[in-house]
C-alpha cells in the first residue's frame, strides 16, 4: 500500500488547531507547513514592522507632488526607514538597486527610482515598500494620483482598490487561497480590465517571499488553505488592457515590468494575518 508522507508536522503535542489541519490534510487539502503559521510573538514583530511601513507610505503620501523625481521618493523612504531602526527589504534583493519600487502609468510593478523620472500632472504611480524590522517583514503599496488625471485612470485606481477589498472579504480562515483570485477576476473583467497572472501575492513575515502564492486571477487548481496565524499579502495588479506583461528591455537590472499594450496599470497591497474572524491588516 502506498504510504503518504504528511506535510503538516505539529511541534510537540498536537493542539486543537493542529488536529484540524491534520484532519483536512487527510481529506486531501493542501495544508501549510508548520512554519507558515506564525507564533503570537512573530505576529507582534511583523505588526511592528507594519507600523514602520505605514509610516513610510504616509510620509510619501504627504510629500509626493508633480515635479519631484522617483529618486526623491526613494530617499524619503530610505531615510524614514533608517530613522526608525529598520531596513528597506528591496535594496539588494535579487539585485534590485533601490529601496522602493516606483511604478508609473504603464509600469506594472518593480519600477526602479531614477533621477530622470519626474512625476507629471496626470500620472498614476504605485509606491511599494517593504520594511525589515528586527528580522520581521511587512509589505504594502498604494497608488497616488499626481494632481488631476483622466476619468479612465482614476477609475482604474479605484477599481483596483476594490479588487483588493474583494480579496479581503473573500479570504476567510480555512478557505482555499485560490478563492481570492476567483472573486477578484470576474470583478476586474466586468470593467474590461486584465488581471496580471505572472506576479502574485505571497506569504511574508520571516522572509520577503514565502508560501503560499496568492493568485489574483481564477486558478482552476486548488490552493493552500489559509489557517489562522498565516501572514500573507494580497496585491492585485490590474491592467486597463491586456493582462500580459513583459520586462522592459531598457532596464539593465531586468526588474521593471510593463503592461503588454503599454496601457496604464494599478496595484494596491497590504500584509495580513489570518485570524479566526478573517484577515487583519498589519499595514494600515
Sites of contact with ligand MF3 (CB under 6 A): 90, 93-94, 96, 101, 110, 128, 130, 139, 235, 255, 269
CA–CA distances in Å: residue 32 to residues 174, 178, 200, 205: 11, 14, 18, 15
74 binds Co ion (CB under 5 A): no
* Least distance CB 127 / Co ion (angstroms): 10
Phi first, then psi, for residue 123 (nearest 5°) are -70, 150
- Asked if the bond preceding 212 is cis, omega within 30° of 0, the reply is yes
Nearer to ligand MF3, 31 or 81 (CB): 81
In this chain, which of 139, 176, 179, 256 binds Co ion, going by CB under 5 A?
139
128 binds Co ion (CB under 5 A): yes
Half-sphere exposure for 120 (CA within 13 Å, toward CB)? 4
* Least distance CB 101 / ligand MF3 (angstroms): 5
Nearer to ligand MF3, 130 or 178 (CB): 130
233 binds Co ion (CB under 5 A): yes
Scanning the chain, the segments in alpha helix (DSSP H) are 16-26, 40-63, 70-83, 151-170, 178-190
Nearer to Co ion, 233 or 265 (CB): 233
Nine-digit cell string for 62:
504627504
Nearer to ligand MF3, 128 or 185 (CB): 128
Residues sharing a CB contact under 8 Å with residue 100, sequence separation 6 or more, in sequence order:
56, 73, 74, 77, 78, 88, 90, 113, 127, 128, 129
* Least distance CB 208 / ligand MF3 (angstroms): 7
Question: Which residues of the shown chain bind Co ion in the complex (CB under 5 A)?
Answer: 128, 139, 141, 233, 269
Amino acid at each position: 500500500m502506498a504510504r503518504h508522507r504528511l506535510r503538516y508536522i505539529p511541534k510537540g503535542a498536537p493542539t486543537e488547531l493542529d488536529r484540524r489541519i491534520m484532519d483536512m490534510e487527510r481529506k486531501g487539502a493542501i495544508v501549510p507547513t508548520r512554519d507558515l503559521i506564525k507564533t503570537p510573538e512573530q505576529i507582534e514583530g511583523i505588526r511592528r514592522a507594519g507600523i514602520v511601513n505605514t509610516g513610510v507610505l504616509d510620509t510619501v503620501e504627504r510629500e509626493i507632488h508633480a515635479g519631484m523625481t522617483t529618486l526623491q521618493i526613494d530617499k524619503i523612504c530610505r531615510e524614514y526607514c533608517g530613522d526608525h531602526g529598520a531596513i528597506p527589504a528591496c535594496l539588494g534583493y535579487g539585485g534590485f538597486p533601490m529601496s522602493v519600487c516606483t511604478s508609473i502609468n504603464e509600469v506594472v510593478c518593480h519600477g526602479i527610482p531614477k533621477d530622470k523620472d519626474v512625476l507629471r500632472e496626470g500620472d498614476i504611480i504605485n509606491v511599494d515598500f517593504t520594511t525589515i524590522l528586527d528580522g520581521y517583514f511587512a509589505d504594502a503599496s498604494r497608488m497616488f494620483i499626481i494632481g488631476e488625471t483622466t476619468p479612465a485612470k482614476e477609475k482604474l485606481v479605484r477599481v483596483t482598490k476594490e479588487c483588493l477589498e474583494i480579496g479581503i472579504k473573500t479570504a476567510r480562515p480555512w478557505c482555499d487561497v485560490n478563492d481570492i483570485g476567483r472573486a477578484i477576476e470576474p470583478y476586474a473583467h466586468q470593467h474590461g480590465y486584465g488581471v496580471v497572472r505572472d506576479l502574485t501575492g505571497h506569504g511574508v513575515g520571516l522572509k520577503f517571499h514565502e508560501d503560499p502564492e496568492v493568485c489574483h486571477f481564477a486558478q482552476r487548481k486548488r490552493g493552500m488553505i489559509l489557517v489562522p496565524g498565516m501572514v500573507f499579502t494580497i496585491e492585485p495588479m490590474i491592467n486597463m488592457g491586456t493582462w500580459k506583461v513583459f520586462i522592459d528591455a531598457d532596464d539593465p537590472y531586468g526588474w521593471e515590468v510593463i503592461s503588454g499594450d503599454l496601457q496604464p496599470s494599478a496595484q494596491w497591497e497590504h500584509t495580513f494575518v489570518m485570524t479566526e474572524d478573517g484577515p487583519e491588516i498589519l499595514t494600515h
